[in-house]
Structure 1
Amino acid sequence: MKKFLLSININLGEYDSFLNRIVYNASENISSYVCVANVHMLVEAYNNQSFAEIVNNADLITPDGMPLTWGLKLVHGIRQERVAGMDLLPDLLSLASKHKLPVYFYGGTQAMLDQTEIYVSENYPDLQLAGMYSPPFRVLTSQEEHQVINSINGSGAKIVFVALGCPKQEKWMASMKGYINATMIGIGGALPVMIGMQKRAPEWMQRTSLEWLYRLSQEPKRLFKRYAVTNSMYLLLLAKELFSRKTLKSI
């Protein structure tokens, strides 16, 4: 089941149902991709129709940010628990280890991937690490794309964790659907947090939709403009949607 919120169709359900769906697609070699949606992604989709189509064509769209779960409650009256990338990543690694599903990491710097390899070997000793690749910070040539596809498919990967950041990772996954025989999931900033390169916000900040503020305090130069614009726009769009619905009910 899905519900439309401003620009994207968000999947609903219990947290475990998302995990089960991803694991099933991976075990069946279904070429698919998962968008872990937050305010940034929603606003990007609202401003760009082609990007909205990419997100809405995903096999799963999880409500990553607490502001999205609050939006679903305000607009649709639905209580939906958060399905965050920072929780999905370690849980999927545990399930991949349990079910013998090889995983591949695509994106991030080489230093991040080196640290990831050390982290997973220590924390998930039974995990089958199919491969890793840090792509150049430019558009890949057609030949390079084919090499990446062949490399991932040849590795036997069942799950591909994509750490390119929004909206680049969603565009890449959409372009690879039907070519890469695995389930792809955009994990964005979850990877550096998991491996200890960054810290996650305290639980009280996560529950009160202030995790963005904690991240901002860690990377103010990179994130200030994004949060100042996207958070403000999200609140404005949500207010307009609620006003419009209230007006329609009163007619």
Structure 2
Amino acid sequence: MENHIIRTNVLGIPVSLVNLVQATKQISAWALDGHKAYSVFVRDVPSLMLALRQSELCDLHHTADLVVADGMPLVWVAQMKGHGDEIGRVPGADLVEEVCKFSLSSGQSHFFYGGKPGIAQRMADNLTRRYPGLRVAGISAPPMLDIGPDFDLLKACREDIEDIRASNPDVIWVGISSPKQEYWIAKAVATIDRGVFIGVGAAFDFHSGAVKRAPAWMRNNGLEWLHRLMSDPRRLWRRYLILAPMFVVKVLGEFLLAGKQRAG
């Protein structure tokens, strides 16, 4: 299936103009393709800012098949650029729910790769209880690895790759945090013949029950970041108190520059 998804540009990072329903349908369609592997990145503000600092990571976004906006600020920027309701927030945890739900009728199978020991298993167990009949092709909790542009996937994860190939899943959920999961996915897509590889990071913690997700009213008003910061300030303070304000400054600067150029 050809990729005709239109993208916008957020500080140099391409972001696909899709909402949760459209992303689910596209991923499910790709998962039926037995002749190609696809990569899906789920972007929020901190991970987008990290991509701006790493040219190799930035480049991966231009080759990814789908880059969805997890954070509401990315949606707001796209809307300020005139895209209106062409784009909606696609949280990783919600994407897991919708794709799993959709796959009950299509029969597509899922592989859960990531998380601390036991997390992927608990995630799979919870999802199969919520969606009876969900096909789980495999589960793996990889060790902590230093994953970057020069990462040797086959040397470090040969058994994992062989397990994924052997189980032949349609959707591979990857939860090893950004930017590690994006580098891992890019290597895996180039190595494995088929399947949709989706980096969903914290969704593993949410669906396993290890971390409580923000209430709906916070998620719907762009405040999920605040809930996460309050839940784990020691680990996340830099992400939300430094990278997020930098994003605002850069976006304002970009719009001011564009305004001056139009006026000139």
User: Aligned residue for 1:158?
Assistant: 170
Q: Which amino acid aligns with 1:199?
A: K
1:48 paired with 2:54, answer yes
User: Aligned residue for 2:122?
Assistant: 115
Q: 1:95 to 1:51 in 2, by over 3 A?
A: same
| Cα deviation 1:189-233 (Å, max 9, x = unaligned) | 112112322222122222322110100111111101111121011
User: Aligned residue for 1:221?
Assistant: 234
Which SS does the other structure have where 2:190 is aligned? coil
Hey, what's the Cα distance between the residues in 2 that align with 1:70 and 1:124? 33
User: Aligned residue for 1:174?
Assistant: 186
Structure 1 stretches (4+) deviating beyond 3 angstroms?
Answer: 75-79, 139-144
Shift of 1:131: 0.6
Task: Provide TM-score, normalisation by structure 1.
Answer: 0.94
1:6 paired with 2:6, answer no
| Cα deviation 1:47-73 (Å, max 9, x = unaligned) | 111110112211000111101011112
Q: Is contact 1:41-1:167 (8 Å) kept?
A: yes
| Cα deviation 1:142-161 (Å, max 9, x = unaligned) | 44433222210110211000
Shift of 1:31: 0.4
Which SS does the other structure have where 2:42 is aligned? strand
Hey, what's the Cα distance between the residues in 1 that align with 2:63 and 2:174? 17
Hey, what's the Cα distance between the residues in 2 that align with 1:115 and 1:78? 38
Task: Provide TM-score, normalisation by structure 2.
Answer: 0.90
Q: Is contact 2:18-2:68 (8 Å) kept?
A: no
Structure 2 counterparts to residues 1-251 of structure 1, below 5 A: 1-29=6-34, 30-79=36-85, 80-139=87-146, 142-180=154-192, 181-251=194-264
Structure 1 gap segments, 5+ residues each: none
Hey, what's the Cα distance between the residues in 2 that align with 1:52 and 1:150? 28
Hey, what's the Cα distance between the residues in 2 that align with 1:45 and 1:76? 24
Q: Is contact 2:46-2:239 (8 Å) kept?
A: yes
Q: Is contact 1:7-1:42 (8 Å) kept?
A: no
| RMSD (Å) for aligned C-alpha atoms | 1.6
Q: Is contact 2:154-2:161 (8 Å) kept?
A: no
Q: Is contact 2:8-2:17 (8 Å) kept?
A: yes
Shift of 1:77: 5.0
| Cα deviation 1:107-156 (Å, max 9, x = unaligned) | 11122123123213311220111111111112477444332222101102
| Cα deviation 1:148-193 (Å, max 9, x = unaligned) | 2221011021100000011110110001113222110011111211
Structure 2 gap segments, 5+ residues each: 1-5, 147-151
Percent identical among aligned pairs is: 28
Hey, what's the Cα distance between the residues in 1 that align with 2:206 and 2:89? 18
The aligned length equals 251
Which SS does the other structure have where 2:214 is aligned? coil
